[in-house]
Amino acid sequence: MATSGIFSGPDRVEFLKSFGRPVRQGSLAELKVSDAARVREAIRKGDAAGARNRLALLLPIHSGLVTTYLEWAYATRSRVAAHSTKERERELAGRCFRTWEAGLSTGTAPFQGEAVDCVRGLLDPESVGPETIGALRSNPGNAWSTRLNQLPAGEMSRLHQCLDGGAADDAIRHFDAYLEAMRDRHDLIGRYVGLYGTELAAVVGQHESLGLVQEGLESCAALAGMWGFVGQARPEDLVLMLAEHLRAHFSGEGREGGVEIVEEPDRYRLIFAPCGTGGVLRHPAVPGIKPLPEATPETWHRAGQVPAYCAHCAKNELTSIRRFGHPAWVTEFDPDPKKPCGWTVYKDPKLIPKQFFERLGLPAPTPAQG
């Protein structure tokens, strides 16, 4: 039985003080239902207010995450250029872009042509370069993020018009179009980020590559307060943050934003099948995405099993151990791409098994003497 009020009662969007904003709360069984299913359910019931309440949460989360993906791509290119030359970086970006284009026909479903054209224009090294990150960050209403989010925002606007008129079928149609447009943008940029890390590792080496990619990510605006929140959050609040993050990545069955939270006596486990980031790069395998060859802390000392994108999870463990003395959450990585991965939050850091330190090449903390 869940021990916290945020994991009891009906599925709802409710203000949480530690977040400073509303977030999905409710029983673990109800939170397992995807974001998309909850929105459609409200629309079909004629609950326009309930649908609007959930949509008001989804749009900023989705658009913020997809925009952060783009910022991450630009920021990493800037980091690489600073450690090399703009010419060498542009050559690397060109090779990555060509691999990205060649693999667009693979996946469980084809990408919309409109989304491909949009993202292609935002990633093409003939149009953007390492310096683009400065222009993007200097203007909150910049042309890049505006172009990225324009069509999904338009579908969301038409959805609200349908809610005003009580046209449920049309509202669901525009909601599905919104989801498809946003998910395509997410996956297309996610592929590029994963491919860039893979290509970069082959050029500068695995360790340096992963460091530059992580530096690019942690320089993004959306991550500015993340570690501060993680450091003070209750385990239950951290679980809600991670679940929301995974849903925003379109994890879960049908890629509709579903995550299962399982409570055990000493931990909360988040299971996402599939993972909406590294998971969809691994199965079915995206051309150009390859496991990293070296067994290092950033691959949990697994050789030839962890792609560059998934190494980001190990980097997060290393970062949190450096900051707090323990991994804020533990990644349950499965080398079989057909099986789901997961994240685990321990209710007390002292309960974290030593194996999760040792696989990173670090000693487990010595228990305090009473």
pTM of the model: 0.96
What sign for the dihedral angle of Cα 70, 317, 19, 258?
Answer: positive
Phi-psi region of 325 (alpha: psi -120 to 50; beta: other; left: phi over 0): left
Give the relative orientation of helices 143-165 and 48-83 as an angle to the nearest 10 degrees. 170
Task: Provide the token pair at 370.
Answer: 């009473």
**Low-confidence stretches of the chain (pLDDT beneath 50):** 1-2, 369-370
What's the farthest any 2 CA atoms get from each other in the chain?
Answer: 66
- d(C-alpha 313, C-alpha 298), whole Å: 8
Question: In this predicted structure, what is the pLDDT of residue 1?
Answer: 42
> Cα–chain-centroid distance for residue 349?
24
- d(C-alpha 31, C-alpha 260), whole Å: 7
Question: In this predicted structure, what is the pLDDT of residue 140?
Answer: 78
Alpha carbons within 13 A on the beta-carbon side of 255: 17
Task: Give alpha helix (H) positions in 166-310.
Answer: 168-204, 206-218, 226-232, 235-248, 278-282
- d(C-alpha 247, C-alpha 260), whole Å: 10
Question: In this predicted structure, what is the pLDDT of residue 3?
Answer: 52
Find, among 156, 218, 148, 198, the residue nearest to 307 by Cα: 198
Question: Does residue 284 have a cis peptide bond before it, meaning omega lies within 30 degrees of 0?
Answer: yes
Question: Does residue 125 have a cis peptide bond before it, meaning omega lies within 30 degrees of 0?
Answer: no
Find, among 204, 209, 199, 202, the residue nearest to 103 by Cα: 199
Question: In this predicted structure, what is the pLDDT of residue 333?
Answer: 96
- d(C-alpha 169, C-alpha 162), whole Å: 9
